[in-house]
Amino acid sequence: MLWAVPVLICDVGSVLLRTSLDSAVEYWRRLDGGPPGLRDATQLSDDALRDFRIGRLSESDYVQYLRSRWDWETDGDTLRAGWDQSVAAVHLDVLDLLRELRERGWFLVGAACLDPWQEQRCHSLLHEPHTVFHRVTTSTRTGTLLPDPRFFAAALQGTPAPGARLYADARPEHVAGARRAGLTGHLFRDCSGLRSACRSLLTVVL
């Protein structure tokens, strides 16, 4: 008889970390006024950023694109320093819960739809992500973004079977995509809600 191993896949950028490109825009404005014509961070969410996040656009090419797109005379260090502000902090209560789940036998997968700069910032904040997750599935490696079914398929590769599979994310469209992929979806709001979702999925006391 196979032992059922529960699996938790969670979006690193919304469940474990606080990520927002608004923080980058605010940093640039404080420093030198920021890119001319850039009103808010939503304008950064374009095809170039998508290509950067899935590995189709190199770091140097993306820097050149931003300078050209916004007619912005800034150095790469300033641009990168602002971008680092978009990954601000770790939800320590969630981090403690993930470590607890791992100790209790859960298999943990991080889902990271982050660009290369945010990935590096994530590593510096978490120090050693592999001590939290058994593995991390990234958009830069899969060439896809959430909620693409191919991303979920990549995240599930190598996970133990049989076992319950829970996906947690703060974005409703990602949770809906997970459910279409056959996962139990949890819309993340706080750590206590995630704990309850794990508890309700299985008959274990956390």
Q: Are residues 180 and 101 in the same domain?
A: yes
Separation between Cα atoms, residue 53 and residue 150, nearest integer Å: 15
- Choose between 125 and 2: higher pLDDT: 125
Q: Are residues 137 and 192 in the same domain?
A: yes
What pLDDT score was predicted for residue 110? Answer: 96
Q: Are residues 65 and 139 in the same domain?
A: no
Provide the terminal-to-terminal Cα distance of the chain, rounded to the nearest Å.
24
Q: Quick one: pLDDT band at residue 130, thresholds 50, 70, 90?
A: low
Residues 6+ apart with CB under 8 A from 139: 53, 54, 55, 112, 113, 114, 145, 146, 151
How is the chain split among helix, strand and coil, in percent rounded to 5? 50, 15, 35
Q: How many domains does the chain have?
A: 2
Q: Are residues 76 and 152 in the same domain?
A: no
How do residues 142-168 score in pLDDT, each as one tens digit? 999 999 999 999 999 999 887 889 999
Q: Are residues 93 and 161 in the same domain?
A: yes
Percent of the chain with pLDDT over 70: 95
Range of the domain at 27: 21-85
Q: Are residues 117 and 15 in the same domain?
A: yes
pLDDT at 131 over 90: no
Q: Are residues 98 and 150 in the same domain?
A: yes
pTM of the model: 0.90
pLDDT at 32 over 90: no
Q: Quick one: pLDDT band at residue 1, thresholds 50, 70, 90?
A: very low
CATH code, 182: 3.40.50.1000
Residue 1 is assigned to a structural domain of this protein:
no
